Amino acid sequence: MISHLAATFRGFTDFYSHNIYRYVSLAVSSITGLLPFSLTELLLYALIIFVIWDFVKQLSNSVKIFINSKDKASGSVSENNASVLRKSLKPMVLFARHIFFTASILFILYVFNCGINYRRTSFSSEAGITGYDSQKNISSETMNTGDTSSSKNDADYGLVELCTYLVENINLTEEKLLESSQMSNDTTLASGLYNGNEHPVISGSESQNRGDYGYDLPLSPIKLYNGAYLGETYASERASVTCLWETGKLGQKAMESLGTRFSRLSGHYPFPKPLINSWILSIQQVTGVYSPFTIEANYNRDIPYYDIPFTICHELSHLRGYMQEEEANFIAVLATVGSEDLYFNYSGFVSAWVYAGNALAKTDREKFSELYMKINPYTRQDMMYNNEFWDRYDTKMAEVHEEINDAYLKYNGQTQGVKSYGHVVDLMLTYFSENRSLK
């Protein structure tokens, strides 16, 4: 009934999100956020163990009752069998009740800490970002219709401008990161020699991976001040506990800083939790997940470095009740590119390019290729590694999860399903057209 009310009356949903969920979320997450590990993950393991233990226990009780009842039974055969069956099934009925009770509690927590918020007023509307219409997805629909109207031309031009802006800022941020790494002039890379603040220069034949910078991939990854790598490969060290801890703290700071600009995002954010066993998310091709049961932001610690800050901010945005995926992505872009940390800036610009670049590739492949080849080598290597990483988990299970997630999002009012993640491009286009920047 509550779900139906939320879907029918926007006023109820907004009142609940602003005046109830917000404070419940702040209170609960302040407690669960004190733990440096994911409480959700531990509770999941505990639930699995409990279900198995309870099933075995009740099944054992059923068998014992059946055996004892058969030994003590008297009367007709039909009456005896019916009586024995009823008695022996009681423990299994109890097990079913336990499952139903647990599922009911989880469903109630989901509805009040997540489900209702899918129907709230959008972040773009509350933040006064005018011109964005969630029903008119410029990047994924208008540009692919073959329409030659001025509106399409304007949208085309706006997307090229946005992508050019992102490429310029990716390269600028990468240069600053290289400077911060304090490399000496004689540092040798796999593909050439690093000369001060310049990119490596090599000799040799042309390669399909060679761009405007004039060198080949792969390059030797460069370890940065925060433990992350530029030009990440499989040979790069995985994120350390220290790196994840510092990144999580910076994620909190980035979101709290964004909250000073947008009141609906204001307040304290809990520590985002890397899963101990991130394989659970990797096999589903998932970078992070918001838990409505413990009000925690959880993320996949195994994903490529550049995606971790963006994912952290995406999941933390859900704790303010913004469940629409394109809006969580947009909030993550604003938080990361507006952060005081250089690597967060890098994460935001690269993640934004991935979405905007994909949209541009659909409408103007030639312009996409031109801009892509202007991206510095380390970033292109980061993106190549990202593709290689997820290719490992391109399995049937991942396909099934995507279908389930697609149905889940559509059920909660996101009519585009999993495609809604990419509609962040429309929000970026609108914001960029108004501000000429994503900061």
Kindly indicate the confidence band of residue 286, based on its pLDDT and cuts at 50, 70 and 90.
very high
Q: Which residue has the higher pLDDT, 404 or 234?
A: 234
Q: Does residue 224 share a domain with residue 116? A: no
| Whether the predicted pLDDT of 22 surpasses 70 | yes
Q: Does residue 153 share a domain with residue 114? A: no
Q: Does residue 201 share a domain with residue 234? A: yes
Q: What are 211's two structure tokens?
A: 């761009």
426 close to 139: Cβ distance less than 8 angstroms: yes
Q: Does residue 319 share a domain with residue 275? A: yes
Kindly indicate the confidence band of residue 214, based on its pLDDT and cuts at 50, 70 and 90.
very low
**Three-class SS state of 79:** helix
Q: Which residue has the higher pLDDT, 364 or 67?
A: 364
Kindly indicate the confidence band of residue 5, based on its pLDDT and cuts at 50, 70 and 90.
confident
Nearest to 332 by CA among 425, 248, 254, 429: 254
- pLDDT for res 192: 34
Q: Does residue 316 share a domain with residue 283? A: yes
Please list, in sequence order, all residues whose beta carbon lies within 8 angstroms of the beta carbon of residue 48, skipping any fewer than 6 positions away. Answer: none
DSSP 190: T
Q: Which residue has the higher pLDDT, 58 or 407?
A: 58
Tell me the C-alpha distance between 120 and 170, whole Å: 34
Q: Within a domain: residue 214?
A: yes
264 close to 126: Cβ distance less than 8 angstroms: yes
Q: Does residue 149 share a domain with residue 46? A: no
**Lowest-confidence range among 79-83, 92-96, 347-351, 374-378?**
79-83
Average pLDDT score over residue span 273-286: 95
- pLDDT for res 210: 38
DSSP-based helix, strand, coil % in the chain, nearest 5: 65, 5, 35
Q: Does residue 152 share a domain with residue 117? A: no
Domain count along the chain: 2
Q: Within a domain: residue 126?
A: no
Beta bridge partners of 291: 296
Q: Which residue has the higher pLDDT, 347 or 131?
A: 347
Please list, in sequence order, all residues whose beta carbon lies within 8 angstroms of the beta carbon of residue 211, skipping any fewer than 6 positions away. Answer: 372, 373, 374, 375, 377, 380
- pLDDT for res 17: 95
Q: Does residue 150 share a domain with residue 36? A: no
- pLDDT for res 208: 36
287 close to 281: Cβ distance less than 8 angstroms: yes
Q: Does residue 345 share a domain with residue 229? A: yes
Q: Does residue 92 share a domain with residue 179? A: no
Q: Within a domain: residue 315?
A: yes
Average pLDDT score over residue span 349-373: 95
**Lowest-confidence range among 143-147, 258-262, 300-304, 318-322?**
143-147
Q: Within a domain: residue 137?
A: no
Which long-range contacts (C-beta less than 8 Å, at least 24 apart) are formed by 46-54?
47/102, 51/99, 54/95, 54/98
- pLDDT for res 260: 96
Q: Within a domain: residue 132?
A: no
* Pairing between β-strand 296-299 and β-strand 188-189 as defined by DSSP bridges: unpaired
| Whether the predicted pLDDT of 93 surpasses 80 | yes
258 close to 336: Cβ distance less than 8 angstroms: no
Strand order in the sheet with 288-291: 273-274, 296-299, 288-291
Kindly indicate the confidence band of residue 187, based on its pLDDT and cuts at 50, 70 and 90.
very low
Q: Within a domain: residue 130?
A: no
156 close to 167: Cβ distance less than 8 angstroms: no
Burial class of residue 82, CB neighbours in 10 A (0-12, 13-18, 19+) = exposed
Which structural domain, as residue segments, surrounds residue 304?
A: 142-435
Q: Which residue has the higher pLDDT, 153 or 382?
A: 382
| Whether the predicted pLDDT of 62 surpasses 50 | yes
Tell me the C-alpha distance between 286 and 38, whole Å: 16
Burial class of residue 100, CB neighbours in 10 A (0-12, 13-18, 19+) = exposed
276 close to 361: Cβ distance less than 8 angstroms: no
DSSP 201: B
CA atoms within 13 A of residue 289's CA, in its CB half-sphere: 18
| Whether the predicted pLDDT of 200 surpasses 50 | no
231 close to 382: Cβ distance less than 8 angstroms: yes
Q: Does residue 280 share a domain with residue 149? A: yes
CA distances, 357 to each of 165, 283, 362, 380 (Å) = 11, 26, 9, 13
312's enclosing H/E stretch is: helix 307-318
CA distances, 369 to each of 47, 160, 293, 330, 429 (Å) = 49, 12, 44, 24, 20
Q: How many CB atoms lie within 10 A of CB 211?
A: 19
Alpha helices (H) along 73-187: 77-113, 123-126, 150-180
CA distances, 9 to each of 15, 121, 377 (Å) = 10, 11, 51
Q: Does residue 101 share a domain with residue 148? A: no
Average pLDDT score over residue span 232-236: 93
> Mean pLDDT across the chain, nearest whole number?
84
Q: Within a domain: residue 213?
A: yes
| Whether the predicted pLDDT of 354 surpasses 70 | yes
| Whether the predicted pLDDT of 74 surpasses 60 | no
- Radius of gyration for the chain, computed over Cα atoms and rounded to the nearest angstrom: 26
Average pLDDT score over residue span 382-395: 93
**Lowest-confidence range among 32-46, 111-125, 401-415, 425-439?**
401-415
Q: Which residue has the higher pLDDT, 377 or 74?
A: 377
Q: Within a domain: residue 381?
A: yes
| Whether the predicted pLDDT of 195 surpasses 50 | no
Nearest to 166 by CA among 434, 430, 429, 420: 429
Average pLDDT score over residue span 336-351: 98
- pTM of the full predicted structure? 0.85
